Amino acid sequence: MRKIAFGLTTVALSIAATTSHAGEVEVLHWWTSGGEAAAINVLKEEMKDAGHTWKDFAVAGGAGESAMTVLKSRAISGNPPASAQIKGPTIQEWGDLGFLTNLDSVAAAGKWDQVLPPVISETMKHDGHYVAAPVNVHRVNWMWANPEVFRKSGASIPTSWEQFIVEAQKIKDAGFTPLAHGGQAWQDATLFEAIALAKGSDFYKKAFIELSDETLRSQDMIDVFTTFKKMHDFVDPGFSGRDWNIATSMVINGEAAIQIMGDWAKGEFTAAGKQAGIDYVCFPAPGTSGTFTFNIDSLAMFQVDGDEAQKAQQDLTRLILEPNFQETFNLNKGSIPARLNMPRDKFDACAHSAMDAFLASSSTGDLVPSMAHGMAVNSMVQGAIYDVVTNFFNNESMQATEAVDKLARAVKASM
Ligand code: BGC
């Protein structure tokens, strides 16, 4: 008996000796699809290699609505994780509540102010201090298409929403599902936002950043709702509640022609062994070629106690901005690195096009934050827009004129 106890003590001592600076880091995220899991695994492995313990806190659910609910309950009970996938204005909400930790020393050592474009570094700061680390930039206004389905249907890739309706009808007549879609509020909002973006960046900014009552009620917005409702004719009967990655798989396996989705969809094509330009093609969502709706994923860091936990959190923060992680994570995730001047050679044509569009749109004023992905407005306003958009899509009798009135009122009430 004594011998066994002695044996265990020896083992315990030797583990402690090899990992004296090792700490645990609990990370809350919603990256659970094939491409997403491959991406976050890169960070898990790097943390393990640095001698730390990764406690995975994955909460499934596209766009993170469920993850945010779970995070709030953990924070309210005084036990937030060390790190959580939080983005855009929501970082400010958590910062205002005093939960986040100052990352300035890691950021200074890694020269974050120099290696990040201002649109990203500003989003990562609260009151002028870094509190979150960016992993990527997703472009949201993308159209993913199966070229074989287009060929069999005699359809062309649409460059406007008017043309989309014409081509989608051909695809439907040929017996395919034109639009792979999942009826979840955030996916409805992603589609709606892409249609709105085709009205131009000025319209988009007035509607979803300035929240102008006049723009929300305008004829242009009525047109946007009308086109959006038309998309209902092109989804399959099973669309309701479908997860986004299941919709992507419909394009991958040739059941459907198109998905309008951010480039995390590319992560699914990659995970399925498909190649851009051969098995699938990527184009900006119709009418949005010069514009870029950005969605920056980031891990915000919460205050943690104890030297080891703090060291683990700092290592996590540092590793995220390292070129190696930025490259490997984004090759799996479908997005582009947040860090500037990264080598492009391992990235595919869709990523190159996103990189070019990101740079070009930053100087023309056509780089706009995604409303559907929590980059443009706070969570209250976003929730109000989601509700109107999704109710309208699922309510056959609601007119576009009624929808704009509901939208303007809901936005005003949530401001
Ligand atoms: C996130 C992506 C994620 C997608 C689907 C977006 O809001 O930014 O990282 O892959 O939701 O869950």
Structure tokens at 165: 């309706």
Q: Please report whether residue 5 resides in a domain.
A: no
Report the number of distinct structural domains present in the chain: 2
26-63 pLDDT, tens digit per residue, is 999 999 999 999 999 999 999 999 999 999 999 999 99
196-234 pLDDT, tens digit per residue, is 999 999 999 999 999 999 999 999 999 999 999 999 999
3-state secondary structure of 261: coil
In this prediction, residue 20 has a pLDDT band, given cuts at 50, 70 and 90, of low
Q: Which of 4, 46, 16, 19 is nearest to 299 (CA)?
A: 46
pLDDT at 125 over 60: yes
pLDDT at 1 over 60: no
252-299 pLDDT, tens digit per residue, is 999 999 999 999 999 999 999 999 999 999 999 999 999 999 999 999
- Beta bridge partners, 179, equal 258
Phi/psi of residue 33, each to 5°? -75, 175
**Taking the complete model, does pTM exceed 0.75, yes or no?**
yes
**Closest residue to atom 8 of ligand 1, CA basis:** 297
Atom of ligand 1 nearest to the CA of 297: 8
Residue type, 91: I
- Whether residues 184 and 276 fall in one domain: yes
- Whether residues 113 and 97 fall in one domain: yes
pLDDT at 5 over 50: no
Q: Please report whether residue 304 resides in a domain.
A: yes
Q: Are strands 24-29 and 53-58 parallel, antiparallel or unpaired?
A: parallel
> Could you tell me the CA-to-CA distances from 39 to 46, 56, 122, 268, 320 in Å, in that order?
12, 14, 24, 11, 12
Report the chain's mean pLDDT, rounded to a whole number.
95
Question: Would the CB of 36 count as within 6 Å of ligand 1?
Answer: yes
The whole-angstrom separation of Cα 259 and Cα 262 is: 9
The residue assigned the tokens 């851009």 is 276
Q: Please report whether residue 98 resides in a domain.
A: yes
- Whether residues 52 and 163 fall in one domain: no
Which residue segment(s) compose the domain that 245 sits in? Answer: 139-294+364-414
Q: How far from each other are the two terminal CA atoms of the chain, in whole angstroms? A: 67
Q: Please report whether residue 335 resides in a domain.
A: yes
In this prediction, residue 21 has a pLDDT band, given cuts at 50, 70 and 90, of confident
Structure tokens at 13: 């001592």
Percent of the chain exceeding pLDDT 90 equals: 95
Structure tokens at 192: 């709606």
- Whether residues 341 and 369 fall in one domain: no
Identify the pLDDT of residue 115. 98
339-349 pLDDT, tens digit per residue, is 999 999 999 99
Q: Please report whether residue 3 resides in a domain.
A: no
Question: Would the CB of 373 count as within 6 Å of ligand 1?
Answer: yes
**Closest residue to atom 11 of ligand 1, CA basis:** 63
* Gap from CA of 38 to ligand 1 centroid (Å): 14
Identify the pLDDT of residue 18. 42
- Whether residues 29 and 109 fall in one domain: yes
Atom of ligand 1 nearest to the CA of 372: 7
The residue assigned the tokens 């020269």 is 111
Q: Taking a C-beta distance cutoff of 8 angstroms, is the pair 146, 256 a contact?
A: yes
What CATH number does the domain containing 22 carry? 3.40.190.10
- Whether residues 388 and 288 fall in one domain: yes
Question: Would the CB of 167 count as within 6 Å of ligand 1?
Answer: no
Q: Which of 151, 175, 161, 178 is nearest to 233 (CA)?
A: 178
Tell which one of 138, 245, 299 to mutate to probe ligand 1, the residue whose CB is within 8 A of the most ligand atoms: 138
3-state secondary structure of 228: helix
Question: Would the CB of 138 count as within 6 Å of ligand 1?
Answer: yes
Phi/psi of residue 20, each to 5°? -65, -30
* Gap from CA of 130 to ligand 1 centroid (Å): 22
Question: Would the CB of 30 count as within 6 Å of ligand 1?
Answer: yes
Q: Please report whether residue 280 resides in a domain.
A: yes
- Whether residues 231 and 369 fall in one domain: yes
Q: Please report whether residue 1 resides in a domain.
A: no
DSSP codes, 67-80: HHHHHHHHHHTT--
- Whether residues 371 and 400 fall in one domain: yes
* Gap from CA of 9 to ligand 1 centroid (Å): 45
Q: Please report whether residue 2 resides in a domain.
A: no
Q: Taking a C-beta distance cutoff of 8 angstroms, is the pair 298, 123 a contact?
A: yes
